[in-house]
Amino acid sequence: MNNLGRNFWVSNFLIILIIIALVFVIKALFNPILSKQQQQYGLDKRLAVLNDITSEADLKHKIEINNFSYIKVTNDRLSAPLTYIEQKEAQLFRKILPISPSTQHSISTNQVIEYSVKNLEYSTLYQHIILLIVAALVITTLFCNLLYLTLFRKNEQLLIEETLDDSDVKSIFTIAAKAIKQKIRNLKSDVSDKEMRINKLSNQANRDSLTELNNRHAFRSELTELLSSDNNQDHAILSVIRIFELSTVNASRGFQQGDHYLLNVAKIIKQVALNYANTQVFRISGSDFAVIAHNMTTTDAHKFSDELKFKFDQYQATHNLESVAFNGMTRVSAKQLPEHVLARADIALAKAQIAGPNAWALEEHSEFQLGEQHWRAVINEVIEKRSFTFLQQPVQAIHRNMKGYQEIYTRFLGENDNIIPASTIFSMAQRIDMIVKLEQLIIERTIANYRQKSDFNTHWGINVSYACIQNSAFLIWLERLLLKESDIAGSLVFEVHEKPLDNHLTASKRFFDMLKRAGSRSAICRFGKGICSFRLFKELKPDYIKIDSSLIVDIEHDSTNQQFIRMIIDVAHRMECQVVAEGIERLEQKHILEHMYIDGIQGFLIARPTPL
C-alpha cells in the first residue's frame, strides 16, 4: 500500500474515533442534568412519604412503575429487598456512561427506595443530538473522500502523462514527474542489487555455517580450477592447518567451548591471511582448515607461517593448551593431480607434528606424492631391509673439561638407492604409528656400529623423538638395552628437541632419569627458543644443552642475543651443564662464543656431516 492510500484510510479511521469520542463527551455533559432530573422526579412523586410497600402489587399500585427502569425497596416488613427491573432491553444510548441510581429514605419508617428514572425526554434529546452530529460528520467525510479520490485519480493520470513524455515539461507536475523518473532509475538499480544478493545467497551452499568460511566443496572447486588451468605459470601455496586439541577441548570443556576454540582459530587464520593478496581461507573438515594463496612466493609462505605460529603460541599460552594447530604447506601449480597435492600437504603436516607445538613445514619434493599406504610400505621395507646408513658430524670441545662427541644422523635409501629425506620418513612413521619400531632399529644399529667402528674412547650422539619419549614400552625397552650394553651406554648421548620437552615435562623427566640410571648422557638441542627454557635445567638436569642456531646466525651484530647466550652459559655452568652452540658457519661466531666460555661448537665451520 502506497503512502497516499495509507493516509486515506488513516484519516477515515480518525473520523470514526472522533465520532466515538463525541458520543462519550456529550453523554458526560448530559449526565449531571439527567442525575438532577432523576432526583427531582423522586421528590415530585413524594417517594419519601409513601407507606411501607409489602409486595410487587403494592409497588405497582403506589408508584407509576412505567416511568422507572429500576426500583429497589427495603423496609422492616420485607424479608428480602423488593426489586423491579424493566424487562425490555435498554436502549444503546442509555448504556453509555450510565448514571447511578438515586435514593429516597422514608420520613416515617425505615423504608429506603433506590431508583433509576427513564428520563425519556432528555434521553431522546441526547439521542437526537448524537444522531445529528454523526450524520453531519459522515456526510462531510463521504463528500471529502469522493473529492479526494477524484482529484487523486486526475493527478495520477497527469503524472503518468508527464512521466512518459520526454519533451520539456512545463506543467505544475514537473518536479513530481522528475521524481518518478528518478524512482524508476532507482528501481532498476535496486533490481540489479537484488540480483547480486541472489548470487550471494546461492554461494551460501559453499559456506561453513559455524565459521562463515568457504567449506570443503568450495575448496575442491578452487583447487580443481587452479590445477586444470591452461596457464602453466599459475601457481599457489596450499596450507593445510589441523587442530589436534579439538577433541580434548570438547571432552574436557564441552562442545560449546570446542566451537569457541574453532572460531578463535578461524579468526587467527583470517587475520594473518588478510596481510597477503589473493588468499582464500577454507574449513575443509571438523578440525582442518586450508589456505590457498595464489602466486605466493616461498619467502612469503615462510613469513605467513611464522606469523601464524606466533599467533598460535600466544593463544596456547593464554588458554593453557598443549598446542593449537599444525601447518603443512606445499607448492601447487597447474597440471598436477589433486591427490598428489594433498598427499604432499599431509606429509608436510606430519613433519610439522614432529617439530613441536604449533610448528609448520613446507614440502616441495614432488617425487614423494603418494599417501599413507605408500609410506607404510616404504617404512616397512626400510625396517625389513635395514635400508639406511649413518652420517656423523663432530661436536668440537672448546673447554678442556668437555669431551666432544659425534652426532649421528640417519640417511634413508629408497629404490635404486635414492635418498629419502629423513624428516619425511620420521614424520610419516609417527603419523602411521611406526616411529617407535623405526627408532628402536636405528638405536640397535647405532650401538652395533659403535661396537664395530669405535675405539670406545669417543662418544656418539643419538637423536630421539618426543613420540618415543612418551611411550612407556619404548622407555622400558631402551633401559633394558642400555643395561645390557653397559660398556657402551656411558659413551652414548641422547639428544631431544627442547619444544616437546616442556609440553610433556613428566614424560621427559622420566626419560632423563632413566638415562642417568643407565649411565648414558642427555642433551637438549635447539635450546633457547621456548618460553620456559630455563625451567628445564631444574627439572631435567641435562648433561648438555645445544643452543639453537637461530640465536647464533647474526650474533656478531646482535647484542641482545649475545647477552641472552651469555646468560644461558652462566646458568648452565651453575647447574653443571655443558653448553654447545649449533650452526657455527663463520670464524667470527666462533671467536665471540669462545670469549663467552662456550664449552663446545658444532657446524659447517668445524665439519660437514660425513658417512660413518
Residue of higher predicted confidence among 499 and 411: 411
Residue 120 scores a pLDDT above 70: no
The answer to whether residue 80 sits within a structural domain is yes
Q: Among 312, 338, 369, where does a domain finish?
A: 369
In this prediction, residue 45 carries a pLDDT of 61
Average pLDDT (463-472) is: 90
> Would you say residue 129 lies in a domain?
no
Q: Are 325 and 357 in contact (CB under 8 A)?
A: no
CB neighbours of 604 closer than 8 A, spacing ≥ 6? Answer: 584, 585
Higher pLDDT, 162 or 457: 457
Q: How far apart are CA 7 and CA 540, in angstroms?
A: 85
Q: Confidence band (pLDDT; 50, 70, 90) for 109?
A: confident
Question: 541: phi > 0 → left, psi -120 to 50 → alpha, else beta; which?
Answer: left
Which three three-digit cell numbers place residue 4?
A: 497516499
Which one of 109-118, 455-464, 474-483 scores highest in mean pLDDT?
474-483
Residue 60 has pLDDT above 90, yes or no: no
* Residues 387 and 349 placed together within one structural domain of the fold: no
* 47 and 16 co-located in one domain: yes
Q: Which residue has the higher pLDDT, 401 or 497?
A: 497
* Residue 149 covered by a domain: no
Smallest CA-to-CA distance from 18 within 8, 26, 7, 6 is with 26
Share of the chain above pLDDT 70, in %: 85
Same domain, 80 and 113: yes
Residue 387 has pLDDT above 50, yes or no: yes
The answer to whether residue 157 sits within a structural domain is: no
Plot region of 576 (φ>0 → left; ψ -120 to 50 → alpha; else → beta): left
Residue 217 within any structural domain of the chain: yes
Provide the domain limits for residue 26: 3-123
Residues 446 and 557 in one domain: yes
- Contact assessment for residue 389 and residue 611, using Cβ atoms and an 8 Å cutoff: yes
Strands 460-463 and 405-413 turn out to be parallel
**Averaged pLDDT score across all residues of the chain:** 81
Q: Choose the final residue of a domain: 64, 96, 123.
A: 123
Cell numbers for 121:
425526554
Pairing between β-strand 112-117 and β-strand 68-74 as defined by DSSP bridges: antiparallel
pLDDT at 483: 93
Question: Between 161 and 590, whose confidence is greater?
Answer: 590
pLDDT value for 514: 94
Nearest to 605 by CA among 549, 544, 523, 546: 549
- Say yes or no to pLDDT of 519 above 70: yes
23-51 average pLDDT score: 70
Specify whether the CB–CB gap between 326 and 288 falls below 8 A: no
Alpha-carbon torsion angle 218, 224, 228, 233, nearest 10: 80
Closest CA to 573 of 552, 593, 549, 597: 597
Q: What is the pLDDT of residue 491?
A: 92
Give me the mean pLDDT over the 346-369 stretch: 73
Do 386 and 353 have their domain in common? no
Query: Would you state the cell numbers that stand for residue 492, as one nine-digit string?
Result: 652414548
Q: How far apart are CA 366 and CA 357, in angstroms?
A: 26
Query: Tens of pLDDT along 247-274?
Result: 767 655 666 778 888 999 999 999 999 9
Is it the case that residue 478 has pLDDT exceeding 90? yes
315: nearest Cα among 348, 271, 345: 271
Interatomic CA distance for residues 402 and 135, integer angstroms: 119
Asked if residue 236 and residue 334 are part of one domain, the reply reads yes
SS in 3 state form for 390-455? EEEEEEEECCCCCCCEEEEEEEEECHHHCEECHHHHHHHHHHCCCHHHHHHHHHHHHHHHHHHHCC
Residue 473 exposed, middle or buried by CB count within 10 Å (0-12, 13-18, 19+): exposed
Query: Do residues 460 and 313 share a domain?
Result: no
pLDDT of residue 363: 81
State whether 386 and 492 are in the same domain.
yes
Q: Read off the CATH number of the domain in which 403 is found.
A: 3.20.20.450
User: How many residues would you count in the chain?
Assistant: 612
Contact 325, 244 (CB under 8 A): yes
Strands 492-497, 460-463: pairing kind: parallel
CB distance 346 to 368 below 8 Å:
no
**80 and 26, same domain (yes or no):** yes
Q: What is the structure's pLDDT at 16?
A: 80
Q: Answer yes or no: is pLDDT of 282 > 90.
A: yes
For the segment 529-536, the average pLDDT, to the nearest whole number, is: 73
Task: Give yes or no for residue 450 having a pLDDT over 80.
Answer: yes
Residue 324, pLDDT above cutoff 70: yes
Strand (E) or helix (H) holding 109 = none
The answer to whether residues 305 and 329 touch, using CB atoms and an 8 Å cutoff, is: yes
pLDDT at 232 over 70: no
> What CA–CA distance (Å, rounded) separates 437 from 474?
9
pLDDT tens digits, 201-227: 666 777 888 888 888 888 888 888 888
Same domain, 393 and 415: yes
Rounded CA-CA distance 159/384 in Å is 94
- Co-location of 425 and 282 in the same domain: no
My answer on whether 97 and 213 are in the same domain is no
Is 143 a domain residue?
A: no
| Mean pLDDT, rounded, for 432-439 | 91
Residue 464: all three cell numbers together: 630421539
- pLDDT reported for residue 169: 46
Looking up residue 365, the CATH number of its domain turns out to be 3.30.70.270
Number of domains in the chain: 3
How far lies 172's CA from each of 155, 162, 184, in Å?
10, 10, 20
Q: Is 8 helix (H, G, I), strand (E, B) or coil?
A: helix
- Give the confidence band of 165 by pLDDT, cuts at 50, 70, 90: low
Q: Is residue 396 part of a domain?
A: yes
Q: Are 551 and 525 in contact (CB under 8 A)?
A: no
Q: Is 47 helix (H, G, I), strand (E, B) or coil?
A: helix
Confidence of residue 194 (pLDDT cuts 50, 70, 90): confident
Q: Is residue 158 part of a domain?
A: no
Please report the pLDDT score of residue 369 as a whole number: 45
Give 581's pLDDT tier (boundaries 50, 70, 90).
very high
Contact 34, 93 (CB under 8 A): no
- List all residues 6 or more positions away from 474 whose beta carbon is below 8 Å from its beta carbon: 436, 439, 440, 468
Strand order in the sheet with 288-294: 279-283, 288-294, 235-242, 326-333, 360-363
Q: Using CA atoms, how far apart are residues 524 and 547, in angstroms rounded to an integer? A: 9
User: Over the stretch 283-315, which tens digit does the pLDDT of each residue have?
Assistant: 988 889 999 998 888 889 999 999 999 999 899
- Is residue 105 within a helix (H) or strand (E), and if so which, with residue range? strand 102-105
123-136 confidence digits (pLDDT tens): 677 677 777 777 87
DSSP helix/strand/coil, 235: strand
Q: Mind listing the pLDDT tens digit for each residue in 505-518?
A: 888 899 999 999 99
- Final residue before a domain boundary, out of 123, 151, 186: 123
Query: Given a cut of 90, is residue 177 above it in pLDDT?
Result: no
- CB count within 10 Å of CB 379 equals 21
Predicted local confidence at residue 1, as pLDDT = 47
- DSSP assignments along 284-346, one per residue: -SSSEEEEEEET--HHHHHHHHHHHHHHHHHHHHHHT-S---EEEEEEEETT--HHHHHHHHH
